[in-house]
Amino acid sequence: MRRFLSGVLVGILLSVGTGLTAFLLIGSWLAVEDPLEKVDAIVAISGDTGARADTAITLWKAGWAPLIVFSGAAIDPESVSSAEIMRREALRQGVPESAVLVEGASTTTEENAAEVAKLMAARKLRSAILVTSPYHQRRAAFEFHRAFDPRGLVFRNHPASDPEWNAFLWWRQEPVRSRTLLELVKLGAVYLSQTK
């Protein structure tokens, strides 16, 4: 009986440990990242307080691509698009106007991917570095693969350097906990929609 109870206890501890480890690794899994290589454009999609634009600008200044594409509609119909706000920040940081393209119509990640794919194909751009928030990178990559693959376009993932988000401690504070959990729900919905 003692051996049986010891086995049950070890099983419970292993299950809890495995579950806790998986929970703690969610952040690393969401923030998928590929090795960088030179590409035709850096694509930054809107949705944060500036880390995505800043990361795209840093990559451009480091010479990873000659162009930056900012994608995202206005938060409300009365204001300028999020992509335009990011463009203005790039110009302020010294990126020339000729090195920036704006896609200001998309309101969802799926639309970001579709509109950027159209823009890139029209300009004969074939490769990109995709920049978004770390917790959003995996779902964005899924949508960009769906839009890019049929057009023969490719991209590398590079999560934004976001000081608010930590891959291992995201669950400790708001608003990053809610953003990450919401992203997991959205990602699950996207995967489920593909299995139907």
Find the mean pLDDT for residues 73-91: 91
Sheet holding 67-71, edge to edge: 100-103, 67-71, 41-45, 127-131, 154-157
Strands (E) in the chain, as ranges, are: 41-45, 67-71, 100-103, 127-131, 154-157
* Tens digit of each residue's pLDDT (9 = 90 or more) over 151-162: 999 999 999 998
* Tens digit of each residue's pLDDT (9 = 90 or more) over 17-69: 444 444 456 888 899 999 999 999 999 999 877 999 999 999 999 999 999 99
pLDDT of residue 82: 94
Instruction: Please tell me the distance from the alpha carbon of residue 71 to that of residue 144, in angstroms, as a whole number.
Output: 12
Report which of 151, 163, 76 is spatially closest to residue 119, judged by C-alpha positions. 151
Instruction: Please tell me the distance from the alpha carbon of residue 165 to that of residue 152, in angstroms, as a whole number.
Output: 33
Identify the architecture of domain 32-167 in CATH: 3-Layer(aba) Sandwich (3.40)
Q: HSE of 13 in the Cβ direction (CA atoms, 13 Å)?
A: 6
* Tens digit of each residue's pLDDT (9 = 90 or more) over 153-196: 999 999 999 888 888 888 788 988 888 888 888 888 887 887 66
| CA 15 to each of CA 2, 40, 130: distance values in angstroms, whole numbers, following the listed order | 20, 46, 36
Handedness of CA 186, 32, 57, 49 (dihedral sign): positive
Q: Is 154 exposed, middle or buried, given 0-12, 13-18 or 19+ CB atoms closer than 10 A?
A: middle
pLDDT of residue 22: 44
Asked if 127 and 157 touch (Cβ cutoff 8 Å), the reply is no
Find the mean pLDDT for residues 106-114: 96
On the question of pLDDT at 8 being above 90, the answer is no
Instruction: Please tell me the distance from the alpha carbon of residue 139 to that of residue 133, in angstroms, as a whole number.
Output: 10
